[in-house]
Amino acid sequence: MTEPTPTAKLAAQGILARARWHPLEFVFWIAAFSAIWLLPNKHLILTEIAWLALFALSLDLILGYAGILSLGHAAFFGVGSYAAALLAKHGIITEPVLALVAAGLIAAVVGFATSFLMLRGADLTRLMVSLGVALVLRELANKFSDLTGGADGLQGVTMEPILGRFRFDMFGHNGFAYCLIVLFVLFLAARRLMASPFGLALLSVKGNPLRARAIGINVDARLVTIYTIAAFYAGVAGGLLAQTTAFSSLDVFSFDRSADLLLVLIIGGTGYLYGGLIGAVIFKVMQDYLAVLTPQYWPFWIGLVLVVLVMVGRDRMLRWTEPVRTLANRLDWRAKGQGQAS
């Protein structure tokens, strides 16, 4: 074996940059887990933050890494939520962790089936298709009210203890620890995924699908894969909501939920995995705090903060405008492509 050249040694280091842990990441997770002991009377809202963070992470996988803009991501959240609630209610899978995995897999199947609709067309098409899928699923859930409880929601769900040992208590202590561990495990998986050749290929597809094809990347296959994975994540997030509240209702599919999710991710920033997590913390804390101050007008403040942050935070602004810039770039190269053909 010959000795690697100096450039090869540098390359070996440089290529691992994405896989390397930043010190702040340790701080983040230590802070998150210490909340189990330090903030015991906040566990109910922290539970909401945890599943919302996972849901936003799911959107980041497709928006931040593959450039797929979706306004119907609640479709998979909803499927996961109903799946988890139904599995528990009918005693099909009573152990919550197994049921959660099953809920994620069911959402992934729906994600896989609808991913092919997301391959066609540009961003606006995808936006509308994703919106449509969520609406259709919501109406299906409404229609089959024998199964889903319709507009009243799915009542009478009783949750068994996690792993047969940890009961969902009314203060949400175990529920929060459960959600946080699920979030952490799935975050680690996402992090690993995005540091792989597959993750790099996704970024290349997002940056320039034309060239990605020109170096032999099967763009459609990559998009189908990540969309399916993201649907799994969203399904698990929905499952966590259903399990921690022992309830599921039609609003899991609502347009508001998808739109809020986009807001959460945009507040936190796309394409570095922590955006959804940080955005979920900010969004929920603000919602909680502002709802106390001005119960009816809290969305006003969220909107105001969003506008101010975008106008003032120059550095972060680049991240927020990324979907828009991606759209602009893509329209740009399409226009150029047309020009070249002449």
Residues 6 or more apart from 317 whose CB is under 8 A from it?
309, 310, 311
Q: Report how far residue 84's alpha carbon sits from residue 240's, in angstroms, rounded to the nearest whole number.
A: 8
Q: What is the contact mask toward other proteins in residues 135 to 174, using x (rule: CB under 8 A)? A: ----------------------------------------
**Distance in Å, CB of 280 to other proteins, minimum:** 24
Choose which of 38, 214, 292, 293 interacts with other proteins (CB under 8 A): 214
Q: Which of 125, 142, 208, 321 binds other proteins (CB under 8 A)?
A: 208
Of 131 and 205, nearer to other proteins (C-beta) is 205
How far apart (Å, rounded) are the C-alpha atoms in residues 281 and 193?
24
Residues 245 to 284 in contact with other proteins, rule: CB under 8 A: 271
Q: Does 125 bind other proteins (CB under 8 A)?
A: no
CB of 198 to other proteins, least distance (A): 4
Q: Which is nearer to other proteins, 141 or 201 (CB)?
A: 201
3-state secondary structure of 92: coil
Six token digits for residue 24: 């702040």
**Contact present, 86 and 51 (Cβ < 8 Å):** no
Binding mask 17-56 for other proteins (x = CB under 8 A): xxx-------------------------------------
Q: How many residues bind other proteins (CB under 8 A)?
A: 48
Residue 10: Cβ within 10 Å count? 11
DSSP, collapsed to helix, strand or coil, labels residue 67 as coil
- Residue 95's CB is within 10 A of a number of other CB atoms, namely 15
15 binds other proteins (CB under 8 A): yes
Q: Are 39 and 46 in contact (CB under 8 A)?
A: yes
Q: If you ran DSSP here, which 8-state letter would residue 119 be given?
A: T
Question: By the 8 A CB rule, do 49 and 280 touch?
Answer: yes
The smaller minimum CB distance to other proteins, of residues 121 and 161, is found at: 121
Q: How is residue 22 annotated by DSSP?
A: P
Under rule CB under 8 A, residue 216 binds other proteins: yes
Tell the smallest beta-carbon distance from residue 76 to other proteins (Å).
19
Residues in touch with other proteins (CB under 8 A): 4-5, 7-12, 14-19, 192-193, 195-201, 203-204, 206-208, 210-219, 221-222, 225, 271, 329, 333, 336, 340-342
